[in-house]
Chain A
Amino acid sequence: MSAARRCGPRWALPGLFVWHPHKQAVWQMPCKLVHCCGVVNKRWITFQHLKFLKRLNVTRYNKNLSQQAKPKPDSVAPPFLEKKHLDQEKTVICEIRSVSPLHTPLSETSNGNEFKAVNSTAVVDDLATAVGAESKEEKQWKEMKLQLDDLPGILARLSKIKLTALVVSTASAGFAMAPVPFDLTCFLLTSVGTGLASCAANAINQFFEVPFDSNMNRTKNRPLVRGQISPLLAVSFATSCAVPGITLLTLGVNPLTGALGAFNIFLYTCCYTPMKRMSIANTWVGAVVGAIPPVMGWTAATCSLDAGALLLGGILYSWQFPHFNALSWGLREDYSRGGYCMMSVTHPTMCRRVALRHCLALIGLSTMAPVLNVTTWHFPLISLPINLYISYLGFRFYRDADRSSSRKLFFCSLWHLPLLLFLMLMCKKSLLEKGDKIELLS
């Protein structure tokens, strides 16, 4: 299921490539990083493999007690490891001794040597299996040394780069919908600033939630959980994103956008993240977090917080509920075990009712768009079919309250929002009024 919905900010324009539940939430970075990881893994396997082979030689040599001990290997093994091998050799000897006397009478009738050999082999095989299992476990131990090659991939996962990209898209949509001439420089500064702010917020979120993320399937491979990066480095990264990001927004765009960005980081890291474990109100706070980026895009273009900005924010806000509530329906077990206070666990009926309510609200908000001169009247008409469809699925979810209806609603929300914003852009009210057009032509 979606990494974004439970632990990510609600300020996202989702795409199928992010929130498709059947796909693993694997971050696909450039191939070279995967290759680097593979190289590291290969090195690790080779080292452990050699250790495993050493022990096998020891056990085989010892199956017959009359044989000489295996000569010491030429490679300089650390005294600590040698001590460990001696211990294991002793263990092997004890095992074989206990088995042989028991089977001596039987061995007289059959070929005694063969039987003893088979028996010893069986014991050795068991020990080899145990040693193999142990070696396999040893291979899973990793040195906590930061590999510079892996750092870009690690930081990308720490900052939830895909989600950040979607957050930037919603901010861009807000910027594009603003009724002002398009300014490329301002647009780029807004996008970069919003992206950095989102990276910072996501990194802090992961910093706070390490033991909780460890206990959820979806989040157990995050960098801090796996020890690929230290908490200090994660916080330093977050700070080094937040400070330039907010500075860029404040000085390069305008103070209002900077303030919104800073407020959103605070809301997400200091309100939403802790609240997830305290009260179901976290869902509403998270919806605000998701609504702010398009508002930021609008204010970046217009330097003012007007009705159009609030409308866009409202659409994103309402969208969060069918999206998240449907998703959370399938995660109730994990939430309960992990101690997360979510509506789907504590107030299931309210969860479904709120989702339906906000599906219907989307129809209302789409109708408000031409009233506030954000779009033409085509928009509510064109968007009516998709808004009615999501409302229908919301109603089914409310009535049926099962996994199938929740999944249908969740999947619908994934394509509904991008399509709605696209239609909005298509129906954007032209900057020129009719009178101005006639003037231009004459």
Chain B
Amino acid sequence: MAAVAPRTAARLRGIGPRRHFSQRAGGGAGLRVAEESRASSFCPPARSCNDWIGPPDRHSNLRPIIFHIPKNESPLEQRLREFRQETQVWNQQFWASQNVSFRKGKEEFIYSRLKMKGLEMKDETGQKATLNAEEMADFYKDFLSKNFKKHMCYNREWYKRNFTITFLMGQVAFARAWRKLAWKKTKVEN
């Protein structure tokens, strides 16, 4: 492989977070499935100086972001980017496992109810048998109460992270504006 220019290396690092994301080992088959589905081959164009956002993930329904690393990234900007990346991973893991466990629980519930009724999973026409919303109500109530504590912890953490990210974004925006102002002042003085 030919030696790459520093700028290209920086761009290559731009896909680092995505590789980093897919390398993260999580617990449970649901999480591994979630991460495999995220192993997209998309790479942002090298010219781009912005983040890129993708289609919703199959399991978590969250849209992945590939974060751009500017060539003169400040420590604050790096902290923001890494925190956002970490939050993305954390969110992905939570919602992927949540949705996968919901689907699994729903299938098991339908199976057990149909078995109780003496029905098969597939009816005469070959269509998958389902229960209506009234019959599923017990499952919905049960699932919600089982996951209540999990959601409480998630909510607290999410609110903290969301505020932190926004606050850091504010700091970064302010720092950039300040630098620009200082640079313009120096230019005018010169």
**Residues of A with Cβ closer than 8 Å to B?**
78-81, 83-84, 134, 137-138, 140-145, 207-208, 210-211, 214-215, 220, 225-227, 230-232, 235, 274, 277-278, 329-330, 332-333, 335-337, 339-341, 345-346, 348, 401-403
Contact = CB atoms under 8 A, between A and B. Distances in A.
A336 B56 contact: no
For chain A, what secondary structure do more than half of its interface residues adopt (helix, strand, loop), or is it mixed? Answer: helix
Ranked nearest first, the 7 interchain pairs of A and B with the lowest CB-CB distance are A227-B53, A336-B140, A339-B151, A140-B55, A78-B46, A232-B169, A144-B51
A215 B95 contact: yes
10 contacts: A78-B11, A80-B8, A84-B43, A137-B42, A141-B44, A143-B51, A214-B95, A339-B155, A341-B144, A402-B134
Contacts of B143: 336-337
A43 to B, nearest CB: 13
B36 to A, nearest CB: 14
A387 B140 CA distance: 33
Contacts of B98: 337, 339
A214 B62 contact: yes
B160 interface: no
A141 B8 contact: no
A271 to B, nearest CB: 14
B78 interface: no
Interface of B: 1-2, 4-5, 8, 11-12, 40-48, 50-56, 60-63, 65-66, 91, 95, 98-99, 102, 132-134, 136-137, 139-141, 143-145, 147-148, 150-152, 154-155, 158-159, 162, 165-166, 169-170, 173
A78 B133 contact: no
A211 B144 CA distance: 17
Contact of B63 (A134, A227, A232, A336): A227
Contacts of B42: 137-138, 141
A327 B115 CA distance: 31
Contacts, number: 141
A277 B43 CA distance: 37
Contacts of B11: 78, 80
A344 to B, nearest CB: 9
B8 A144 contact: no
A220 B61 CA distance: 9
Contacts of A211: 62, 91, 95, 158
Contacts of B2: 79
A325 B11 CA distance: 51
Contact of A346 (B132, B134, B141, B173): B141
Contacts of B169: 230-232
A267 B99 CA distance: 30
Given A137-B40, A227-B63, A339 B47 contact: no
Nearest to B144: A336
A134 to B, nearest CB: 6
A204 B141 CA distance: 29
Contact of A79 (B8, B54, B150): B8
Contacts of A207: 162, 166
A62 to B, nearest CB: 19
Contact of A80 (B12, B137, B147, B155): B12
Contact of B48 (A84, A143, A214): A143
Contacts of A78: 8, 11, 45-47
Contacts of A210: 162
Contacts of A230: 169
Contacts of A144: 50-53, 65
B155 A337 contact: no
Nearest to A86: B1
A403 B8 CA distance: 57
Contacts of A231: 162, 165-166, 169
A83 B44 CA distance: 14
Given A137-B40, A208-B159, A348 B137 contact: yes
Contact of B133 (A80, A140, A333): A333
A104 B159 CA distance: 64
A401 B173 CA distance: 52
B134 A401 contact: yes
Given A141-B55, A230-B169, A335 B46 contact: no
A78, A143, A225, A235, most chain B CB atoms within 10 A: A143
Given A78-B8, A79-B8, A227 B65 contact: yes
A232 B166 contact: yes
A299 to B, nearest CB: 33
